[in-house]
Structure 1
Amino acid sequence: MIASRLDLGTRKFWRAVGREIDLDGEHAWLRAPMSGDARVRDGWLAAEASAYDGVVREDVPSAGLIADMRELDGPGFDTGHLRPEIRDFYEHTSDWRMEVWVAWSPVFWPAGELISRAFGRRLDQLALPMRPLDVAQGMDSRVAVIADAEGTQRAAGWLRTLRTTGDYVFSGCYSVRALPGTDRAGVHVAFPLESGNVQVFLRPDHGDDGSLWLRSPGERFGGNGAYVVAQDRGHTYASRAPIHETFHLYVDDEGVLRTDHTLSLWSAPAVRLHYKLERRADPPRDHKSHFA
């Protein structure tokens, strides 16, 4: 009872600070999966596939978060300038294994711990690791392709769990999406929540060394950045969130693919994560499908 009131109160807050939106019209760019239950996990996948009259497939060999990185090409960005390891990671994500390190700012750690206890671990969603030992043995990841009726990949579910406990850390929907009025597409990530979601629009850029930068700057409503969407009493509301993320994917001097991830609140870094990414010698093969 207390938990359900807490979740309802949270939706009421985002309604109060947000604006009403029309997901079938002007604000279709904010349409993204939501969870029908408080405990998220992977329960949203089938409903998202049904929106395309499609299917969720977990039997796709070498499944990737993005079917073809060239979908991101446009003025100022050319996939051909990226290191091939980076493109391989995004197009064949399930073939890669990750090790993770985490460091919280002392200022934000208490708030992060409170949110993790009150929401993340209970909802099995956005449960950011709080201590280095939480991720000492790494994360396991699973990629589920969301395909339409013709079999074309429209999005991908990336489900990440702690290797030690199997607890969910992130359950996200990844796709390529162009915002209204922008000159090129970016990476869109949605984290379903009960009757809502958190979304991040990331603008890609490449470095001179073939690295990839993904950034969610603090742009106006309708621009790149983070949003919270909530449904309440038959209406849908959206608000910009003061969350800014930066991902830097690069290959180090020893040929290892790495990622530096910084999450900031307003302009202050709150948590930094570092990923070491290694291609599996013998990638696993799942054999499951969930028909919508």
Structure 2
Amino acid sequence: MKVNLAYTMQQFQDWFTQQWVILSGRQFDPINYSWLIGPFGNLNGIGEVFINELAATENLIIKRNTESTGLLSSIQLLDFKEDELNNLSRKVIDFYENTSDYELQFLVKWNPFFIPFGYIVNRLFSKRINQLNIPIRNLKNSEAITSEIISLISPDNQQVKYTIWLRKFKSSNRIIYSGVYGTCKLPSGRTCIKAVFPLPKGNATVILNPSVGNNGELILDSSGKKYGDAGFYFLLNDRGGNYWSRFVSTFKDKLVVYEDENGSLYAKQNLEIWKNNVATFTYKIILKND
């Protein structure tokens, strides 16, 4: 019986996580799973190194520090019905279509039970790979976060192939998130937002189902129940070049982007594991020129 193994010449914690994906997940053909596949990281760090390596590998042009560039080129990509689109806050739409014009203020509140778990993830993975650097403490005062949209462009047709949202703490210049953002169409035909966070020899992919709330808020929810739904996926390449994925149904991510009664723009993100709240992140979204 053939045993598939993760790439061996890497940190043990990365190998162990990848081997878990192989043993508990499923092998897939990326050609037939375009809704799921996204860029993979290499072994020598993620962060901004990944952006340069991806551009070099695929012969793409890096375009940075451009104004009025969004996570979405148009909110129409989410295939909302006309009444949903008419109800959606104009400020929320502007944020998604012109994300680079905004910066963020960040607060985090942890469930005390999960702080040790967050600390372990931070020590074993986040600091080393320069990705998902979430503070492992409750913040009494909000921290400023820079928000940059980086476009990787094909030189042949000048079309954007990848949109990367790079967020850093202003105080330390440390990367909190570096992800590739876009949309995908699930096997069900539902259009979702897809965020791909590169990891060594793989990635963590979060697929979020969009809807519009009664008060014009945008709701992004990863609460799928089975493989092929919106949700959280680990993807990787093994040492033989095979592709593997693992749907993690116990992990839920819900983000609500809304305009409050004073016209200020906020986002609230709740992370859950096994139906328990892990942490709540609150972002105040501010126009840079205000």
2:65–2:149 Cα contact (<8 Å) kept: no
Residue identity matched to 2:169? L
CA distance in 1 between partners of 2:277 and 2:82 (Å): 27
In the TM superposition, what is the alpha-carbon distance from 1:240 to its structure 2 partner? 0.7
Aligned counterparts, 1:15-164, within 5 A: 15-24=22-31, 26-46=32-52, 48-49=54-55, 54-74=60-80, 78-133=84-139, 136-148=142-154, 149-164=156-171
1:104–1:272 Cα contact (<8 Å) kept: yes
* 3-state SS of 2:113 partner: coil
1:64–1:89 Cα contact (<8 Å) kept: yes
* 3-state SS of 2:279 partner: strand
* 3-state SS of 2:49 partner: coil
1:67–1:153 Cα contact (<8 Å) kept: no
- The count of corresponding residues between Structure 1 and Structure 2 is 280
* 3-state SS of 1:118 partner: helix
1:252 aligns with 2:252: no
CA distance in 1 between partners of 2:110 and 2:89 (Å): 30
Q: Which residue is equivalent to 1:14?
A: 21
1:204 aligns with 2:207: no
In the TM superposition, what is the alpha-carbon distance from 1:250 to its structure 2 partner? 0.8
Residue identity matched to 1:144? I
1:279 aligns with 2:287: yes
1:76–1:205 Cα contact (<8 Å) kept: no
* 3-state SS of 1:94 partner: helix
1:70–1:78 Cα contact (<8 Å) kept: no
Q: Using a 3 Å threshold, how does the CA distance of structure 1 residues 258 and 70 change in structure 2: closer, same or farther?
A: same
* 3-state SS of 1:249 partner: strand
In the TM superposition, what is the alpha-carbon distance from 1:48 to its structure 2 partner? 4.4
Q: Report Cα offsets for 1:192-218 as digits up to 9, x if no partner.
A: 011000001101100121111000013
Q: Using a 3 Å threshold, how does the CA distance of structure 1 residues 177 and 213 change in structure 2: closer, same or farther?
A: same
CA distance in 1 between partners of 2:128 and 2:183 (Å): 30
Q: Report Cα offsets for 1:86-134 as digits up to 9, x if no partner.
A: 0111111111111011011111111111111111111111122212349
1:175 aligns with 2:182: yes
Q: Report Cα offsets for 1:57-91 as digits up to 9, x if no partner.
A: 11532211111111112458843321111011111
Measured on the aligned residues, the alpha-carbon RMSD in Å equals 2.3
In the TM superposition, what is the alpha-carbon distance from 1:248 to its structure 2 partner? 0.7
Q: Using a 3 Å threshold, how does the CA distance of structure 1 residues 220 and 77 change in structure 2: closer, same or farther?
A: farther
More off after superposition, 33-42 vs 13-22: 33-42
Q: Which residue is equivalent to 2:274?
A: 266
2:163–2:181 Cα contact (<8 Å) kept: yes
2:64–2:151 Cα contact (<8 Å) kept: yes
* 3-state SS of 1:158 partner: strand
Residue identity matched to 1:239? R
* 3-state SS of 1:108 partner: helix
More off after superposition, 204-213 vs 4-13: 4-13
Show structure 1 runs of 5+ residues with no match: 283-292
Query: Deviating runs (4+, > 6 A) in structure 1?
Result: none
2:115–2:137 Cα contact (<8 Å) kept: no
Sequence identity, in percent?
A: 27
CA distance in 1 between partners of 2:204 and 2:24 (Å): 15
In the TM superposition, what is the alpha-carbon distance from 1:167 to its structure 2 partner? 1.2
